[in-house]
C-alpha cells in the first residue's frame, strides 16, 4: 500500500505539469482552432524567467570589508548583491531565497507580452489554414525560441533552488500510520501540486463565472454568431492566447526547482502534453486536466521496477500506448465533443 501511495504522489507533480501545459494548449485550440506546437517553448521560457530573476537578484559589486583581511593582511574585497544596498542584508537574503515564487510576478507580464506578440504577429495568419500548416509554423517557432535560449543561457541545465523553507521532505508514512520514512515526498513537489490546482481552479472559475469568460465560451461554440452580436471576439481570443501563455509560463517558473531549466525542456513536455490533450479530447478543458493527472500517475506506476522487468522500457512508451488505444477506439478523446478530430 505504501508503494502505491508513493507512486500516486510521484505521478501528481508530473501530472500537474502535463495538466497545466495541456490546459493552455486546449484553451488555444478551443478558442482559436490552432494547434500550437510552440506551447512547450512557453513553458520553457517561464522556467528561464525564474532563472533570469534569480540571476538579476544575485548581481553584485565589490566592496572592501575592513573587518576581514586576506593572508597578506590587506582588507578583503567581497561581493555584495545590489539588493542589499536597496533593501538591506536581511531583506535582501529573503528576496534572493524566494526568487522562484517571485518569478511568477516577473513572468506574468513577460509571458503575456510574448503571447500577444505571437498571436498578433504570427498565429492569426494561420487561423484558416490546415492543421498541418499550423503545426509546422509553430514547431518552427518553438525551435527558434529553443535555440535563442541555448545561445544566451548555454546548453547545460541551470540549477534553480526552491526557497529554504521548502527544502526537505514530508513524511506521509508517519502521518498515514505506516513505518516512518516509508513514504517520503519533497515539500516543493507538494507545493507545485497545490499551485497547479489553484491555477486550474482559477482558469475554470474565470471562464465559468465572468462575463468575459462566458463570451469566450460562446465564441468557442459559435464564433460567427457571437461576432454578429457586435462583440469583438478576436480581441478576446487574443487575450485568451495571452492567458494561455501565462499559464504555461508560471507552470515553468514553479517547475524550475524540480527539473533544472534547460533549453530542450519545452520540447520534452510539449510532445507528452499534446498526447495528453488528444487523450482528454481536443478542445475539452476538463478532459485535458483529467488526462494530465491520469497519465502522470500511470507513467509513475509504469516506472516501478516490476513493470520495467515485465516489459522493458514500458515507462517510456506507456503514454503513447494509451494514446494509440484511445485514437483507435474513441478518436475524439475521453471527454472531447462529438465530431472533433473524427473526420
Which tens digits make up the pLDDT trace of 241-262? 899 999 999 999 999 999 999 9
Asked if residue 334 is part of any domain, the answer here is: no
- CATH number for the domain that contains residue 126: 1.10.3470
Phi, psi of 33 (to 5 degrees): 70, 20
pTM (predicted TM-score): 0.88
Question: Given the DSSP bridges, would you call strands 60-69 and 75-81 parallel, antiparallel or unpaired?
Answer: antiparallel
Residues 6+ apart with CB under 8 A from 150: 263
pLDDT at 202: 93
- What is the Cα–Cα distance from 74 to 333, expressed in whole angstroms? 71
**Domains held by the chain: number:** 1
Asked if residue 338 is part of any domain, the answer here is: no
pLDDT at 175: 75
C-alpha cell at position 36 = 500550437
- What is the Cα–Cα distance from 274 to 263, expressed in whole angstroms? 19
Looking at residue 222, what DSSP letter applies? -
Q: Which residues of the chain have pLDDT under 50?
A: none
Asked if residue 343 is part of any domain, the answer here is: no
Asked if residue 235 is part of any domain, the answer here is: yes
Asked if residue 75 is part of any domain, the answer here is: yes
Using alpha carbons only, what angle is made at residue 116 by residues 118 and 290, rounded to the nearest 5 degrees? 85
Looking at residue 184, what DSSP letter applies? E
Asked if residue 342 is part of any domain, the answer here is: no
C-alpha cell at position 4 = 502505491
pLDDT at 35: 84
Asked if residue 191 is part of any domain, the answer here is: yes
- What is the Cα–Cα distance from 26 to 42, expressed in whole angstroms? 14
Q: Domain limits at 44?
A: 1-329
pLDDT at 279: 87
- What is the Cα–Cα distance from 223 to 238, expressed in whole angstroms? 14
| pLDDT > 90 in the chain, percent | 34
Asked if residue 286 is part of any domain, the answer here is: yes
Amino acid at each position: 500500500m505504501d508503494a502505491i501511495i508513493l507512486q500516486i504522489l510521484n505521478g501528481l507533480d508530473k501530472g500537474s505539469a502535463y495538466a497545466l501545459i495541456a490546459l493552455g494548449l486546449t484553451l488555444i485550440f478551443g478558442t482559436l482552432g490552432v494547434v500550437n506546437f510552440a506551447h512547450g517553448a512557453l513553458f520553457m521560457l517561464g522556467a528561464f524567467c525564474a532563472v533570469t530573476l534569480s540571476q538579476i537578484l544575485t548581481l553584485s559589486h565589490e566592496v572592501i570589508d575592513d573587518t576581514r583581511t586576506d593572508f597578506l593582511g590587506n582588507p578583503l574585497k567581497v561581493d555584495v548583491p545590489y539588493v542589499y544596498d536597496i533593501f538591506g542584508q536581511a531583506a535582501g537574503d529573503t528576496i534572493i531565497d524566494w526568487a522562484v515564487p517571485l518569478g511568477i510576478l516577473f513572468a506574468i507580464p513577460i509571458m503575456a507580452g510574448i503571447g500577444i506578440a505571437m498571436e498578433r504577429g504570427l498565429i492569426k495568419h494561420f487561423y484558416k489554414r490546415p492543421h498541418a500548416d499550423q503545426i509546422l509554423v509553430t514547431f518552427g517557432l518553438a525551435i527558434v525560441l529553443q535555440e535563442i535560449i541555448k545561445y544566451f543561457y548555454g546548453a547545460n541545465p541551470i540549477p534553480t533552488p526552491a526557497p529554504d523553507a521548502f527544502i526537505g521532505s514530508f513524511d506521509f508514512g508517519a502521518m498515514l500510520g505506516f513505518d516512518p520514512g516509508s513514504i517520503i515526498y519533497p515539500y516543493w513537489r507538494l507545493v507545485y501540486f497545490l499551485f497547479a490546482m489553484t491555477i486550474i481552479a482559477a482558469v475554470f472559475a474565470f471562464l465559468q463565472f465572468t462575463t468575459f469568460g462566458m463570451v469566450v465560451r460562446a465564441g468557442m461554440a459559435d464564433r460567427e454568431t457571437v461576432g454578429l452580436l457586435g462583440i469583438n471576439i478576436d480581441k478576446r481570443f487574443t487575450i485568451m492566447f495571452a492567458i494561455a501563455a501565462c499559464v504555461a509560463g508560471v507552470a515553468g517558473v514553479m517547475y524550475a526547482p524540480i527539473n533544472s531549466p534547460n533549453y530542450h525542456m519545452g520540447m520534452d513536455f510539449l510532445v507528452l502534453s499534446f498526447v495528453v490533450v488528444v487523450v482528454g479530447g481536443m478542445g475539452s478543458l476538463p478532459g485535458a486536466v483529467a488526462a494530465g493527472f491520469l497519465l502522470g500517475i500511470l507513467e509513475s506506476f509504469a516506472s516501478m521496477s516490476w513493470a520495467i522487468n515485465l516489459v522493458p522500457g514500458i515507462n517510456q512508451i506507456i503514454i503513447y500506448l494509451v494514446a494509440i488505444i484511445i485514437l483507435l477506439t474513441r478518436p475524439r478523446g475521453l471527454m472531447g465533443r462529438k465530431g472533433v478530430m473524427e473526420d
